[in-house]
Amino acid sequence: MYRCISSLLPSCLRGLLFPICCLLFIYMPGCTAQPSSPFRMVFWNVENLFDCEPDTLYNDREFLPGSLRGWHYGRYKKKLTDIARVISALGEGTPPALVGLCEVENDRVIRDLVRYSPLKEWDYRYVMTDSSDPRGIDVALLYQRDRFSLLSWQAVPISGNHKRSRSYRDILHVTGRLLSGDTLDVVVCHFPSRSAGRRETEAFRLTAARQVRALADSLMAIRALPGIVIMGDLNDFPHNRSVREVIGAGIPDPDCVPDRLYHLLARKAKNRDMAAINTRENGACWII
C-alpha cells in the first residue's frame, strides 16, 4: 500500500520534502508527471528572521543592537548561513524547487538570504507579502525559475468582524507553471498565534482559515484541472476547528477525490509523538 507521505501524492509531486514545523494541504487531481527529477517543496517557520536596522513603522526593538536579545550583524549573518545550509541540504544535492517561509521581517532579509548567503548558488527568486503585522513579520516563497515559471502573485488581506481589533498577516498566493506544463497554485500563510490563549484567539484563526478556504474554492471553480498546495504555520492542530471544519482537510486518499484538500499527516497526528513535533505555543506547526 502507501508507505510514505510522498507516495500518497499524484506522481507529479512525489519526492516532496517536508521539514519539521510546517503544514501543507494539497489538492492535485489534474497534475501529470514531471519529466525528470522529483519536484520538491518545503515550508519553514524560520522564527524571527530580523535584520539589525530600526524600522519606524513596526515594533522591531527586540531585534536591534543593544536589545536584551543582544542581536547584532554577526548573529544575523550566522542565522542566514544556517538557514541557507539547511535548505541546500534538503534535496540530497538538488534543493527544493519551492521554499515557503514565515516570520521574515522584510524584503531585505530575503534578498540577503538568496543573494548573499550560501543559498546564492541555487539561483532562487522570491515573492513576499508586506502585511500590517505589528512586528512587521511576513511570509515569502522562494522559487527556482527553471523549474517553476512565475505567472502571477498577490497578497490576499484578511479582515474579521471581531470585538477586539486584530492585525492579520496577509496570505501569499503564487501561481506558476511546472516543467510538465501544469499550473500550480501555491498559498503561503501564517495564522494568528495562541500567545494570548488558545480559546481566546481561536476566532482569529477561524477567520484566517475561512479566507484560505474561500481562496481554494475560487481556484477550484476557475481552473479546469487545478493543482493547489497550501503551506504555512496555522498555529493549530489537525483536529482543531480551523483545520478540520473550516479548511476541511481530510486524510490522504489514494484516489484523490475532486474538490478535496488533504492533510498529509492526518493519520500520523493521532500519534502523540507526532503531535509533539513542535512544542512552541502548545504545538503550532504542522506538515499537512
pLDDT in tens, 88-118: 998 777 899 999 999 999 999 999 999 999 9
pLDDT in tens, 58-87: 888 888 888 888 899 999 999 999 999 999
Indicate the DSSP class of residue 5.
Answer: G
The share of the chain scoring above pLDDT 90, in percent, equals: 51
pLDDT in tens, 139-158: 999 999 999 999 999 999 99
Position 17 pLDDT exceeds 70: no
What is the helix (H) or strand (E) element at residue 165, kind and residue range?
none
pTM of the model: 0.84
Return d(Cα 165, Cα 168) in angstroms, integer: 10
Lowest mean pLDDT among 9-13, 40-44, 189-193: 9-13
Q: Give me the half-sphere count of Cα atoms (radius 13 Å) on the Cβ side of residue 193.
A: 12
Beta-carbon count within 10 A of 184 CB: 25
pLDDT in tens, 194-216: 988 888 899 999 999 999 999 99
